[in-house]
Structure 1
């Protein structure tokens, strides 16, 4: 049986529990906890999560990519999913995104989400638009489950519109407990005050960057994870550069994660 299909009973059980919650306080013993904390099984640290199921309020299920039918939707939490706050990055169905996150009393919220602007087939663009729109408002945690056999930890979030988004923890970039320092190198980069139009798979906007004040400008096609870029301001940044193993054909083989804004200068 496909491993993704084995996850369906978990989502269905949480949905039933959510629907019955208004009628009774009894909880079936085999249902996962509805708390927001997963620390009972793992320490804090970077973690990587894949969206494996998207159930809409009417019970229908949206088709999402899982690697066999497209690049999966991945959320990478730099401080782990249990942290009070941190930076988040990943893929949103078509493009890479970056921003910040913070825990709430009932779940999680996402802030300052920005991403690349590559063009993809219409179904993937529609899925990405729906996800980014949902991330504009906090998610409520309606179910969590520790690791079980070969399946990683799981969490189900409910959007403000009633969609249920089921994520499973994955190994790979940002694996919980991995030494992030060993995965990349630190460097200083200079970022121009304005982004410019450029062409990847489609038209998009790129940063202009260089390694020293007198070096020629180069184009940076991806995001700078953690940077809240303000047009009209040039930056000197300390970043960590990662090599991405087996990147998609339309994505960069290098990632930058912001470590420190060393200076910012407003253009005259």
Structure 2
């Protein structure tokens, strides 16, 4: 009888010991999964197939959202890590734009690998290069290369716009690689120093141009100064949509303001641009590319050390495509400075060069006869 009572007395301690062991095991498992997940969230992962004109890009966000850029459509879902080496995903949702055949094939590949799947994976580093290897349901391995996801790099890869309902022009922030912050308030330009430290943006004293502005823009300029002048600014970033990420910053009272990002051409094309000056005629001409269209007429200009311009070719050339950021005016002759980027792996109907407007150098109104 005493033995029976002793067993009953020890039973709760046995159950507690089992529970403790289970808790320890759960804690260890969670730590392993968290460590593996951090390896995924620390990088932006790129897969470049030889047959695709644009790369496949993965972002494993801290909010358990998976964002995939296929080169045309964007896909998204949820994700988590199980067992320290398996990515478990939900069914992917996608935008529905028509894409070229190579990108449609890449979109299907992405869905085959990541849509509602348990995906074995391994992360390794060699020569300071992060590598993510995933295995699809057929046992085929796919290798992604990683770019470190740092707040500073994400800030410099985009220009950030905040549009108040009270003005027609946005505030635009440019975090430059030389640790200068340029602020376009809609009228005057401000600039200061910046760095990311202890999860806040640290700014210095603001300097500003001193043009007279309309009252609403003067008020917006004052707002930008109050927000950015010599502060430690709490901020949050959401890059689940790489084409339009958001930057939320808070003022001294804790009020949040959301800036929307637009990728810089340097980040988009991943090449160093060449500076080119183009004169653009007011008249356009019919031309034939992939299909009949209307083309601008341009001629390249060279400037010497004294600022004297000469034409590389005095004859006008047809310009197929568009200059990003430039709007043609049939009543103006203009000279523009563009950044010319080399396009890696262009599609069959795409130019190998991309021009982005840097500034308008000259403009002249042309009277129609």
Task: Pick the TM interval, shorter chain.
Answer: 0.3 to 0.5
Give the structure with higher Rg (CA). Answer: 2
TM-score normalised according to structure 2 size: 0.32
Q: Which has the higher strand share?
A: 2
Q: Which has the higher helix share?
A: 2
TM-score normalised according to structure 1 size: 0.43
